[in-house]
Chain A
Amino acid sequence: MRIMRITAVIVFLLSTQVYAKSFGQVEKINLKMNSNIKEVFEQLEKVSGYRFVLKYDQRILDKQVDVNYTNEKIDRVLDDLLKDTGFTYKVIDRYIAIVPVGELNDFTQQQKSVSGKVTDSSGGPLPGVSIIVKGTVTGTISDTDGKYSLSNVPENATLQFSFIGMRSQEVAVNGKNQINVVLSEESIGIQEVIAVGYGTQTKRDVTGAISHVKTTELEDLPVAQVAQKLQGQIAGVQINQTTGIPGQGMTIRVRGAASVNAGNSPLIVVDGFPISGSINDINPDEIESISVLKDASSASLYGSRAANGVVLVTTKSGEKGKTKVQFSSYKGIQVVPQAGRPDMMNAQEFAQFQKEYREDMAAFKGTPVDIPAEYQNPSEWVGKGTDWYDILLQNAKIESYSLSVSANTDKLKTSAILGYFNQEGVIINSKFDRMSIRLNTEYQINDKIKIGVNLAPSLSNTVTNGTDGALWGGGIIQNAMLTSPLAPYKNADGTLPVIANTSGLFPNPNWYRVAQERTNNEKSLHVLSNAYIDVEFIKNLHFKSSINAELGNKKTNYFIPSTSGYIFDPPPRRTEASVTTDSYFSWLSENTLTYANTFAEKHNFDFLAGYTAQKQTNPYEYMYGTGFPDDMVKTLNAATVYQLDENYNELTLLSYVGRINYNYNKKYYLSASIRRDGSSRFGVNNRWGNFPSVSAGWIVSDEPFFPKTTWLNYFKLRGSYGITGNYNIGNYMYYAAVTNTNYVFDNNLSSGRSTTSLGNSELGWETTKGIDFGFDFGLLKDRISITYDYYGKTTTGMLYSVLVPQSSGFNNIWTNIGEFKFWGHEIGIISKNLTGKLKWTTNFNISIPKNKVIHLGTQDAPIGGQYDNPNITQVGSAIGMLHGFVFDGIYKNQAEFDAAPHHATSAVGTVRYKDVSGPDGKPDGVIDNFDTTIIGDPNPDFLFGITNTLSYGDFDFSMIISGSYGNDIMTRTFEYAQNLDAVFNVTKDVANRWRSPENPGDGLHPTTNTGTPLARYDNSRWVSDASYLTIKNITLGYTLPFRNTSYFERIRIYGSIQQALVLTKYEGANPEVSINGSSVLESGLDFTAYPVPRTFTFGLNINF
């Protein structure tokens, strides 16, 4: 209780409406005492959370009272207490002011009245905003329409507008009678509440490195996947779209990803439940906000799986106080940009190439070579032929609808979100659609008990074609690109040929037909549900128990008609079909006790203890059939020959968690946590792991010695240390498995069984020790906020399937090996550049991730880097470096040939590689295995994102940029697309190859005559800088003027361009490409992927 001079601090709110509202949130009072009023007030402070404030007159405090209230409202209590005392009370914020009756009138003798309206940045009215005449106790609050009116305001006064969650504003009256104010959300404010492990904290209280994104601010992005929305938003989090296949291909890597092998995707936790499925199963519109726990201390409460960071997803729940209905929708069209399309020869160029190939071969061999008729006269092909890449493309539509209803009454908080998303692919016969529902409900049974149920089913459908990847993997795009442009995909009569081939090439199917007719449909059902009960035994001591269940069922139907085929394997071929069912069932039981309290006014602490048990099962079935009579029936019942497979996996995890947060006066912070995890994935001897962490924070700017300048208003230092773990390997890896190895005796199968893997009962947790040091600045009254973090991580005992000498009889063993260091800097800046009528906010982040391999395995043997292996991870350099020969031009003539080292197949006109080393570690004049080396680095030097949002009146505009600098890509597609055996279509520049010493070409492409395999090995000519700056999204929105009608609260329309512009020197389709997805060991490889389209959309948001 404070007794102070009231004028400077307290505002008397004159509106009775405010009075009622202010007490609306107060719990019922139970109070029984016989004492003086002072003690009664103190007791009331404890139970109600209100503070009493008295105006200099303390007479009242000594009055003895005898009170006995059960479940009584506080206003009734106060009315009773103050009856006949000559005092009355007023409420403002969390304060109850006790003032003598009649003094209120002292404040009502001014001269001017001012009125106006308060709105939020979107133009919606803001009720409940307090408006105070600066330096006085005069004030009011805005009504339901956001309108207010104040009388008796001095001419030279200044009005202060404030509202929780919004940035306060001061406006000078300057004689005006009408003052309208737009308050903007205080999203960067240190009071913002963000999700942390097992709870929430205000930003101010956070001592770890946590990035927070309100996805509601990104709702205009026309994308299927949440991760696409986060691109460029978070310092230290690299999000790449490795392929444009609808609904797929996003990789998330937090701080360079700690684990090399055992999965490097972060743990996704949805409303407290670590999910097994993909984050992409979730409709992005269901998400309220996302927190990324980057450092060990903030993540270690999820110890077991936190080494790769944790992404906490908070879904939308009912907003306080009102029922909201929201509808949003967009429709658009996706187009493949011209830039980045493969530059293959057209029909004329290809005929010329084929002709020259034969002429050169005839000269080389000294024997005549026939030139097939179709190649004899290339000029006849001008303007004719097939662009195989182009015919696979289409302009595709995209649409999304989302309806959400939320309500929050005294007892019931509920929200329902219904979504439908449909995206056609820009490659024919591919698409993705998803229907999703989320129902979040929380019910307050009584003062003590709260229960909640969340249910979120989603149903999605993916149609793909096997578009991506290497020749032999069957990726349609690359196969089509390599097919003769002379072969038609469609006959003159409109029918589709079955085979696409011209003389001397391997026969291929008509890829257009393959793409159209191949079936690869995946139907997926994903259900996420949880139920919880929260009991408050005594004030601030909560017991929460929750049961979470997740179900995922994915069924894939595959059908290849006889008219389809593979590379070199044209139709007619056998018809094949398969059905794959891949499911998982997971449950998690979580029980926590939390307690929070404040002692001696300044010692705040909270405490958490709990344990969780989780079990997951994965049944898998595969059915394959062939021997179909024809292509009429596409289901397995029409097959006559079958193959079956079944698999079943089980995983259990048991964990104990504990945490204490303490702060002194919200200035000095200390936090410690521990998690102990046991997993069925590890050998009996090393099953349990302990994951402790500590962190501390200091709000320096609250110190008395800190200079009170206007430019620097907030300064916080943070530091943390902690250990996290990783167990992302398959199940049963520590077992020495005995599997079927059948043989034949007497012309019959004889069942055989052999130990086919090396067991390891010592297999245990991979651990990452991490430190983080950071500071947060608030400049110019939080107009600019800056966050900086330095982090260092050391991963040891990496879970890796180490190659072992095969003379042991085995290929590898799952073990804990190596040591890796990761470190880096992250800076995030949010700046409110303009806050007037034209508002402009810039959100900039940059991260500089580094990593280095310190140890590997027992012999430090590199991972990868075998002969002709495009990636190598070796001690002393960064992870997954690109690896191969160093291209050194062409042996243009005999003199150059004689002067340089050779490979066994080298000849004049063939490719020349550098003699890097030899068996003794020195160049030996021979080109062989020993001359492969590091030729590129797929790890970026830095990553950045810039988001600008502007609004002016009813218009809003935003632009999101994300970029990467210094990462290399190896275009492995060139192994085929620049093949010199004249069996594929090739890139246009192959025309400039070496043909003779007199006609040596551009010095980049060797002869077609001999030694052609040498040019196919991974080499530095395929490596290029893939730095990029991508304008991910541009949106222009307009809020229609007829807001607040009886039907609508607000209607906004907008247009947006996704993937608007990619600025890069990289010539491939997508500088974010990675054929191996999220793999760090095998990153930076382009083996032809589904193009990422540019998407133009038009959208609509309606609030009812």
Chain B
Amino acid sequence: MKIKNYIVVTVAFMATACSSDFLQVTPETFISSATFYQTENDFEQAVSGAYATLRDVYGDAYVMGEMRSDNTHYNYKENDRGGQNIEKEDVAGFTDNSSSMYSNQKYYACYRGISRCNAILDRIDQSEINAASKQTLGGETKFLRAFFYFELVQYFGDVPLYLTEVTTQAGTALPRTPKADVYVQIIKDATDASTQLPATQTEKGRVTQGSAKTLLGYVYMTLKDYAKAETALKSVTTLGYDLMPNYADLFKTANKNSIESIFEVQYLQGTQNLQNNFTYQFIPALENTVVITGVAGNNQSFGGWNIPSDDLLAAYETGDKRKDGSIAMGYTDADGNFVSSPFTNKYLNPHSTFNNCNDDWIVYRYADVLLLLAECLNEENKPAEALPYVNKVRTRAGLANTTATTQAALRDVIAKERRVELAFENHRWLDLVRTGKAIEVMNAYGVKMKQKYSYLLPRTYNVDANKLIFPIPFDERLLNPELSQNTGY
């Protein structure tokens, strides 16, 4: 072969060669974290993304917040024993285990939110966005991280404490941090948030100084640090909040983020996947929901939850406006007959599409703060100071001032007020736990329930101290052997 041929071969061979840039392919339909978190707009979006996990935390929160308590139960469906249903029943009846999807969802969703907060907090201080935005966005993020951790410690006890974004596989598994240490972090974040956040935000739905102070108040109340709780809660009363004149109006979609609202999870009906379907879960399971919601549809496979218990119905004093503002006693069927079947109407507002509603979920509101402050003052043995706050709430409900004067009597009054004022708002179970009443109240309630419902097995409503918190998810422990389980699970 001649030299010329060698050249031809070599040239032909090389001509089609590619450079190794050929292997660098950049995705076009999403961006990567390496290029995000730079501009102010990036951080604004990232903070919205952190808020978005609130919707996951609150989606089924009523199962652990209300159905676990003596406030609500469920319509038993003997012909629909699918897992997603019976696991709700298990939470209500205290037969849930570490595979319960409801407590697991809460756990996962809170951590999803924490991870998003960590990604922001890892970078925002070093970023070049303007200082005011750094303050506010950073404050919102710290509030959210504190809020998520507060949910976790209340429901699960000791939990792993992640304070920076996880970026490697090795960093994914942490052991549990003692509850007290988690609280230290929560207080730190909530305190920072309360100083960084403004009293009002231009965009409704964003958290404010009031939100952070309320959170702090709750945290201190839970820790029984009444002095600090009092300071925090009292400062909320100076921030311009007030009660809505009419209790029922609070829950109208027209009054979202009202003057009474301190922290509210936002929803939006429509096709953007930001809607909720709370009311379709809460009304009885119907072949056609038009008789209640005005919109045709079949909610038989997912309705009938969070139904007011007899106990709760009995808790309303005669003339309490909050009863009608919270509960419908039944509905009129297609034939015009009234069907007695109580359900909550707090999240029932006009809407146009089946299973697609616009209602927000109020997490903290002013009446809540007033009652919590009353509880705080009463625990500090200052019942007289507590009374005006209780009576303010009672007055709006159309009730006379309470006659209780002793600390013990007022304690019961405040507990009952919180129960009916905040019914269906996911406070009852945590209130029972915080005030140390859960075991006593729930066992007594269980006896009555078992008498009423023959389907309740003997194992239900056996409430002991172990049941005050929920189990660490089973799957989580498979993946992280360092994770211990709560006693009793």
Contact = CB atoms under 8 A, between A and B. Distances in A.
Interface of A: 361, 365-366, 504-507, 535, 537-538, 541, 543, 545, 568-570, 589, 591, 593, 611, 613, 615, 641, 643, 646-648, 650-654, 678-680, 687, 731-732, 735-739, 741-755, 758-760, 802-810, 813, 815, 858-859, 861-862, 865-868, 904-905, 907, 919, 928-929, 981-983, 1010, 1012-1013, 1016
Given A747-B256, A760-B169, A1013-B81, A742 B272 contact: yes
Interface in B164-211: 165-174, 203-206
Given A747-B204, A806-B476, A507 B298 contact: yes
A982 B254 CA distance: 44
Given A680-B24, A736-B167, A929 B99 contact: yes
Given A739-B30, A981-B80, A754 B8 contact: no
Q: B97, B168, B483 — which one has the most chain A CB atoms within 10 A of its CB?
A: B168
B457 to A, nearest CB: 6
Contact of A737 (B24, B30, B204, B485): B30
Contacts of A646: 29
Contact of B107 (A731, A744, A758, A806): A806
A613 to B, nearest CB: 5
B86 A754 contact: no
B266 interface: yes
B97 A928 contact: yes
Interface residues of B, number: 99
B46 interface: yes
B268 interface: yes
A648 B169 contact: no
Nearest to B202: A746
Nearest to A609: B13
B32 A759 contact: yes
B271 A643 contact: yes
Nearest to B14: A591
B479 A861 contact: yes
Nearest to B296: A572
Contact of A861 (B50, B300, B478): B478
Contact of A736 (B33, B53, B99, B473): B33
B98 interface: yes
Interface in B47-67: 47-55
B338 interface: no
A506 B285 CA distance: 12
Classify the secondary structure of A's interface with B.
Answer: mixed
A599 B13 CA distance: 26
Contacts of A746: 203-205
B266 A859 contact: no
Given A366-B454, A568-B300, A741-B52, A648 B29 contact: yes
A545 B169 contact: no
A793 B245 CA distance: 76
B146 interface: no
A654 B461 CA distance: 64
Nearest to A1010: B455
B410 interface: no
Contact of A650 (B25, B45, B95, B172): B25
A1070 B367 CA distance: 64
B172 A810 contact: yes
B33 A755 contact: yes
Contact of B115 (A613, A810, A859): A810
A744 B24 contact: no
Contacts, number: 276
Contacts of B13: 543, 591, 593
B489 to A, nearest CB: 9
B23 A737 contact: no
Contacts of A507: 287, 298
Classify the secondary structure of B's interface with A.
Answer: loop
Given A537-B9, A739-B30, A809-B112, A803 B457 contact: no
Contacts of B53: 741
A886 B178 CA distance: 38
A810 B478 contact: no
A679 B169 CA distance: 22
B83 interface: yes
Contacts of B107: 806-807
Contacts of B266: 743-745, 747
Contact of A929 (B97, B203, B205, B268): B97
Given A743-B48, A809-B114, A859-B479, A758 B166 contact: yes
B18 interface: yes
B389 interface: no
B18 A654 contact: yes
A537 B300 contact: no
Contact of A983 (B27, B80, B171): B80
B1 interface: yes
- 3 nearest A-B pairs in the assembled complex, by CB-CB distance: A809-B115, A752-B48, A754-B49
Q: A679, A742, A748, A806 — which one has the most chain B CB atoms within 10 A of its CB?
A: A806
Given A652-B22, A742-B52, A746-B204, 20 more contacts: A365-B454, A545-B12, A687-B23, A743-B48, A745-B48, A749-B268, A751-B45, A758-B167, A805-B172, A806-B108, A807-B111, A807-B159, A807-B476, A808-B172, A810-B115, A858-B170, A859-B480, A867-B99, A981-B80, A1010-B455
Interface string B439-461: 00000000000000011010100
Contact of A747 (B12, B50, B167, B268): B268
Contact of A678 (B20, B50, B83, B165): B20
A909 to B, nearest CB: 13
B48 A751 contact: yes
A589 B16 contact: yes
B423 to A, nearest CB: 25
Interface in B454-489: 454-455, 457, 459, 473-476, 478-481, 483, 485
Contact of B162 (A545, A808, A983): A808
B238 interface: no
A538 B4 CA distance: 12
B119 interface: yes
A186 B452 CA distance: 84
A861 B485 CA distance: 17
Q: A646, A680, A804, A858 — which one has the most chain B CB atoms within 10 A of its CB?
A: A804
B12 A805 contact: no
A537 B9 CA distance: 8
Contacts of A754: 46, 49-50, 52, 116, 119
Nearest to B483: A805
A804 B479 contact: yes
Contacts of A680: 23-25
B5 interface: yes
Nearest to A813: B169
B16 A752 contact: no
Contacts of B8: 537
A423 B457 CA distance: 55
A679 B81 contact: no
Contact of B298 (A569, A744, A928): A569
A735 B481 CA distance: 28
Contacts of A865: 478
A263 B272 CA distance: 34
A537 B5 contact: yes
B31 interface: yes
B169 A758 contact: yes
A859 B476 CA distance: 12
A811 to B, nearest CB: 8
Contacts of A807: 107, 111, 159-160, 162, 172, 174, 476, 480
A753 B45 contact: yes
A905 B457 contact: yes
18 contacts: A507-B287, A537-B5, A647-B29, A651-B25, A687-B23, A732-B30, A736-B33, A742-B48, A758-B166, A804-B172, A807-B111, A809-B112, A809-B115, A810-B115, A858-B170, A866-B478, A867-B475, A929-B98
Contacts of A760: 168-169
Contacts of B455: 1010
A753 B179 CA distance: 31
